Structure 1
Amino acid sequence: MTIDDIIHFVEGLDDVLTLRPDPGDGSPEISWGDTFFYYSPDGVVPTTTQPFATIVTKNYPGDEDSRLDRVGAFRVNIHAGKEGFIASLGHAPREQGPADIDAGASDTVIAHPVYGSAAWLAVVNPGPRTSELTRELLCTAYTLARSRYERKADAARRHI
């Protein structure tokens, strides 16, 4: 899967807002070249929620284990939720997984090197082994984000 394949797939889901920060748009320089996916029926960047998935193209401070400084390396980060995390890795987000995991291994689903305990998964350069699972996890993350949005909207309507 390429970055464009992933973006095209996620943008095929209803009400997805895709942010691709670039120089001159007011976004922090560290985010330039990365991609952020939100569930947003009104097309406005949510201020009270995180994206449900991201694509990063470089190391961030404190998050160098995936070695994204290699040519062509990128990582898809997916909020899988507790059930999706367990189904993918066989342990709960806050439980320690195998100690010998290489966070920079391509085409391998791992706990996110920084946000794994919050049920985020990561895949560096998804390929033949992980492309189907990556798509499934992106759909799960999207569904969870949509459900959170709808619960908040329902609660807001009840308080009017």
Structure 2
Amino acid sequence: MTDRHADALEDLSASIRRLPDVFELIAGPGTGAPELSWGDRFYFVGDERMRPFATIVVRNVPGFDERSGLDRPGVFRLNVELGRATFKDLFGYGPEEFTAHESGIDFATPDRWFPHPVYAVQGWGSIVVPGPGTADDLIARAHARSLTRSFRPRSG
């Protein structure tokens, strides 16, 4: 990873960690994560570790998720849980329509939002090497949604 991109990744990670009640998990030895995901970062609210609101991935997963070309030097991808409404506002169609649009999407262009190559149907969006401030609003929205979900009283 180039120094500039490594700095961009660290700056982005630090800005997400500064949000209230955020826990960052960096996949690696001892985390239970498969070796192919080592170095990937997962962001959770509070004690809820079941569903991150954002992730940063740093490498391809052969046969599963390769379309963003994360094997290029210095390239990483931010993934954000957008939700159905924000997904539709951003891309002009709902997550359920992703497969109809998939062939026309460039998943590797830097600093441009696109539906997540694998999890678009669940309302996730992605951006490769986002520029400064490009992702702030969508990260804040995903964090707020996760806060609401995390601190909602559980029925029992």
Question: What is the TM-score of this pair, normalised by structure 1?
Answer: 0.84
Which shifted more, 71-80 or 21-30?
21-30
Where in structure 1 are there 5+ consecutive unaligned residues? none
CA RMSD of aligned residues (A): 1.8
Q: Hey, what's the Cα distance between the residues in 1 that align with 2:30 and 2:124?
A: 30
Residue aligning to 1:94: 96
Pairing of 1:110-149 with structure 2 (within 5 A):
110-127=114-131, 131-149=132-150
Q: Hey, what's the Cα distance between the residues in 1 that align with 2:140 and 2:36?
A: 27
- The amino acid of 2:103's aligned partner reads A
Pairing of 1:1-160 with structure 2 (within 5 A):
2-40=8-46, 44=47, 46=49, 49-61=50-62, 62-95=64-97, 96-97=100-101, 99-127=103-131, 131-151=132-152, 154-156=153-155, 159=156
Q: Hey, what's the Cα distance between the residues in 2 that align with 1:53 and 1:26?
A: 19
The CA deviation at 1:120 is: 0.2
Where in structure 2 are there 5+ consecutive unaligned residues? none
Q: Count matched residues.
A: 147
Q: Hey, what's the Cα distance between the residues in 1 that align with 2:48 and 2:94?
A: 30
